[in-house]
Structure 1
């Protein structure tokens, strides 16, 4: 049986006895129906992992004893995914799969063709929801590094690094410099507007083809990350 992996934003020291978060308590006690003595693994999303033993499960609390703590090397894909906001179920899917592929950071983008961007009062709830998707994807995929989730920004507000790439169908494939990080920009339904593309090209952003077909935004994100991952030698 696979050892359960759970996210904990902080990990203490070996031999510590700690109480799990409400989220992890519910998962262990109600979903897995774990028993005292069960071995689990915790990770903090920043490379620290810890093996632990379940000591006691009460109605509202699970206590564990921390054992060996290790540091995992950062093997994330050195790419930030600049992803235009799309319909929420499709955005959720894209965030999950990008995390499974090991993306370093995710930058939600508001563009000219973004359909009903979230208002400020809803944005915090959406961020919590998105963070939970990233965490769950890391738990599932044995990824010890949770991607950085940045605040949504208008396209023209982004700080564009030297190696910024925009997915565009009317271009050829391109080679990146694998010694440098990259920002991959993926547009919404209908793509980036002509004005937005003009803005990007004036900033020396390089276009990259994802193949001969027109892809949905969420599909384009995964194809783009896979192509870059090949050039970075990860796939």
Structure 2
């Protein structure tokens, strides 16, 4: 049976009777078609799911009795902040929705010189409210119990001036692939136990291979390359991806990408340009591919 989950801004506790706000009320009644006696799971971003049952339901009012609460959602081994150039309409919505489903912890919308969408004042406030709704809906669907933070939209250069830790800059012509990144380019070691264990294991294996003659290394990998020079063999060693520290910023431009001067400034602020394969990705595709790669290399896709 499908679990119906809805977000509420209210404090939640076991035994309480909650009257839902207009947005979740409308969704429960008109979209999910729920009525009295139906189970409903609520969450408010505190990290828990609250399981309850609808006691009363009308077109404009839904009251839910909370019966139990789940354990808190674990913190991710790597908190990913997506700094994303604002794109048009559905492209931005899709990027936000899928980024939330893939596990980003925060989102920073940015206006760059190639941004085609110009927003300010009331229009920007309404769009930000819409983006927040996209994030909430993605959490409801994906089972996330903590809402990613949506930061106020900023001009790219203003935002870069505030950055001290750097991160990853996605660019299709970058010299390095994301799999070639080494740990010092991404920051210091994470405090997460899984990250420490992975880093220690990679360092130990790398040290052992470096200390062994080329022929001995080849024997341990099947004996096929014992006659090759050490330099040639070293190029064929598997890449061990060390863990970045507990957070990582991913910077991606809007349609058309960032201007060369903007990329240069980002690099001056500590961002490392990387590419994702040989293809040019659309603005709504690039964040999803990059986040999936980061989660696979260093995040919670590891297990």
Q: TM-score normalized by structure 2?
A: 0.74
C-alpha offsets along residues 13-64 of structure 1, whole Å, 9 cap, x if unaligned?
Answer: 2111121111222222222222322111111123132011110112321111
Residues in 2 aligned to 1:48 and 1:198: alpha-carbon distance in whole angstroms: 42
- CA positional deviation for 1:161: 4.1
Asked whether 1:75 is paired with 2:70, we answer no
Moved more, 197-206 or 101-110: 197-206
Which secondary structure does the structure 2 equivalent of 1:83 belong to? strand
Larger Cα-atom Rg: 2
Partner of 1:5: 5
Asked whether 1:58 is paired with 2:36, we answer no
- CA positional deviation for 1:163: 4.1
- CA positional deviation for 1:77: 4.8
Which secondary structure does the structure 1 equivalent of 2:264 belong to? helix
Partner of 2:253: 187
Which secondary structure does the structure 1 equivalent of 2:300 belong to? coil
Greater helix proportion: 2
Greater strand proportion: 1
Residues in 1 aligned to 2:156 and 2:34: alpha-carbon distance in whole angstroms: 46
Residues in 2 aligned to 1:218 and 1:24: alpha-carbon distance in whole angstroms: 28
Q: Cα–Cα, structure 1 residues 21 and 181, in superposed 2: closer, same or farther, change >3 Å?
A: same
C-alpha offsets along residues 165-214 of structure 1, whole Å, 9 cap, x if unaligned?
Answer: 10011221224443331110001222111111111122221111111111
Asked whether 1:222 is paired with 2:285, we answer no
Residues in 2 aligned to 1:125 and 1:27: alpha-carbon distance in whole angstroms: 20
Say what the alpha-carbon RMSD is for the aligned residues.
1.6
Q: State the number of aligned residues.
A: 235
Gapped regions of structure 2 (runs ≥ 5): 187-242
Asked whether 1:166 is paired with 2:169, we answer yes
Gapped regions of structure 1 (runs ≥ 5): none
Check the 8 A contact 1:85/1:117 in 2, yes or no: no
